Amino acid sequence: MNPIRVFIVDDSAVVRQILQAALAKDPNIEVQGTAQDPLFAWQRIQGQWPDVLIVDIEMPRMDGISFLRKIMAEHPLPVLICSSLAESGSQFAVDALAAGAVQIITKPQSGVREFLQKDAPAIIQAVKTAARARVRALPQAGAPATPAKAALSSGLQLLAQRSTEKVIAMGTSTGGTQALEFVLQRLPATLPGLVIVQHMPEKFTAAFAARLNSISTLEVREAMDGDRVLSGRALIAPGGKHMRLARSGAQFIVQVFDAPLVKHHRPSVDVLFRSVAEVAGRNAWGVIMTGMGDDGAQGLAAMHQAGARTLAQDEESCVVFGMPKEAIRLGGVDEILPLERIPHRLQELTGGAHAR
């Protein structure tokens, strides 16, 4: 097996040296080269594309997020952002994930040498995970199918606040930030309420939900314990907490709670999907999209057995075809669709307004 070729872009010579030494500990990784800024890196990697890029944010001549967008537009590659600016919940971190970063590695403001040396095993694992990602530019299916929030009529705004007797549950992981942005931006506020698990660290999800809320006609928010599931509202499980669907009288609500990791994750897609199967049964739709591992596969199978309609993102459009693949293998998927078909199909199935 050929080693994973890594290229490091950081304006600190010390960071470049330490990262190179850390990665050299694994015989399956080869540092192809390093550069002190993105423009020099772009010249160096032309025609000899690495398998993974490690990129800082704050650099001369071009910042790391602008470089990430350039990479994704011209030659998509798996990119790890390694920066002290990408702290949990920061706008830099959210922008990086939205632009296509596979993972964020947060460097401390001080003690960088000790941090990189101590965290070498985690960085090596992040590189190996990124190398398995099938990164590509997002499909361009024309303008979003929904108008801006400000343009919603008062009738639609009232409709969006109705209790929902049905629910859409979605689960994503690696690559899911972009996939969710693509889907939610194209859904109308007339759909049943959505409950969503995206594997993210604590403090990231609030900023991520705020970003989605700003570009969607849906009300997107980080879930709080006891939040009602309403038509036109999407609730995203907070990082570091599990979320499940429950009933309060005739209403759907979410419960947000502490509990051990499930399938190495908290929040866990399986926890959410199993609760949807138990509480909503055939009054639900399940969607599993790009992600590493198998979290959500058993939960989606439970939803399928309870009578819910279930969708999975296809291999070609996934960054990582792990979670959907396992869900398909377990027989819990009714339809396998490319990412660009999922928004329209959800509207067809739920009776929402059709995409324009």
Residue 295 annotated to the active site: yes
| DSSP 8-state symbol, 225 | T
Collapsed DSSP state (helix, strand, coil) of residue 283: helix
- For residue 167, the surrounding DSSP H or E stretch is strand 167-172
243 half-sphere exposure, CB direction, 13 A CA radius? 29
Residue 12 annotated to the active site: no
Among 84, 173, 216, 268, the active-site one is 173
Distance, CA of 306 to chain centre: 27
Among 63, 83, 199, 268, the active-site one is 199
| DSSP 8-state symbol, 335 | E
What whole-number distance in Å separates Cα of residue 310 and Cα of residue 210?
Answer: 27
Provide DSSP, 5-25.
Answer: EEEEE-S-HHHHHHHHHHHTT
Place of tokens 């890594």: 6
The overall longest dimension of the chain from CA atoms, in Å, is 62
Pairing of strands 233-236, 219-222: parallel
In the chain, which residue ranges form alpha helices assigned H by DSSP? 13-23, 38-45, 64-74, 91-99, 112-118, 120-131, 154-159, 176-184, 204-215, 269-279, 297-305, 323-329, 342-350
Residue 46 tokens read as 């032309």
Q: Which residues are catalytic?
A: 173, 199, 295
